[in-house]
Amino acid sequence: MEMHFQLALSLGVVFIAGLLRGFTGFGAVMMIVPAFALFDDVRAAVPIGLFMDLVAGLLLLPRIRRHICCSLILPMGILALATIPLGVGLLAWLDPDLSRRMIAVLVMLFAVVLAAGWRYRGPITRATSAAAGAIVGLLVGWTGMGGPPAVAFVLSTNLDAGAARASLTGLFLATTSFALLNLAMQGMIGPDILLRAATLAPAFMAGTWIGGVLFDPQRESLYRLVTLSSLATVSIAVLIGG
């Protein structure tokens, strides 16, 4: 009975995460990782969140690949790939409960940053792109969540909305794939994680599709408020929980 309840709860979480992704284009991993960490080991929550993000990226890639700005994403991607092993090492080394609570704090901070509409205001150079990529890679490897700093940096450039979204999707596909490879090399992805990810993926895909269909551009601010409030609620639950 407990196993069936956990499966139903997991399906519900990834479905809601998919809805958030479909509504706003972000928030899926930020929802999945801390929510799963409430009833599971954070070292299982991170790869499952990354697998769901990989599914979303692969679904989008055929439509957006021509719009990816390689001159911006390549410096970020190279440094991100270099620091992902450091983040995975942190996940493997730190006490899981400490990681769980720190991830909850990060989600709360990210929600505040996204709600405030903060953007990077400095110069856009190869050096700053590489520095942003290094931060993204470290966070992806450790928490699965490199999205907010990447979004804050890329949206500060002069890219139009379509190119920015495509470039972020390309960056996340690369970092997610490499993070999963490193997690597997650390022994944190076994047959059980693969089976769970495969079981949960259809619910996530359904949520993403429904969220996209129901999305109304005139209500984007409402969807963002719902998303950020949901993320903050999950974070508080993790910090209050045992």
pLDDT tens per residue across all 242 residues of the chain = 466 778 888 899 899 888 877 776 667 888 888 888 888 888 888 999 999 989 888 887 887 788 888 888 888 889 999 999 999 999 999 888 888 888 888 888 877 777 777 776 777 788 888 888 999 999 999 988 887 788 778 777 777 767 877 888 888 889 999 999 999 999 999 999 999 999 999 999 998 888 777 766 666 666 667 666 777 777 776 667 65
N-to-C CA span, the chain: 22
- Residue 217 is predicted with a pLDDT of 61
User: Which pLDDT value is given to residue 27?
Assistant: 73
- Close Cβ partners of 50 (under 8 Å, ≥ 6 residues apart): 29, 140, 144, 176, 179, 180, 183
Cβ–Cβ < 8 Å for 188, 39: no
Crossing angle for the helix pair 161-185 and 70-93, nearest 10 degrees?
30
Give the chain's count of helices (H) and strands (E).
10, 0
Beta strands in 82-221 (DSSP E): none
Distances (CA, A) of 82 to 34, 74, 227: 25, 12, 31
Are 167 and 25 in contact, with CB atoms under 8 Å apart? no
- Cβ of 55: how many Cβ atoms within 10 Å? 22
* Residue 28: closest CA among 203, 167, 153: 203
Which residue has 């590489």 as its token pair?
130
CA distances from 158 to 16, 124, 171, 179, 221 (A): 32, 10, 17, 29, 22
- Full-model pTM: 0.84
38 phi and psi, to 5 degrees? Answer: -70, -30
What pLDDT, on the 0 to 100 scale, is given for residue 1?
46
The predicted structure's pLDDT at residue 14:
93
Q: Check residue 218 and report its DSSP letter.
A: G
Neighbour count for residue 6 (Cβ, 10 Å): 14
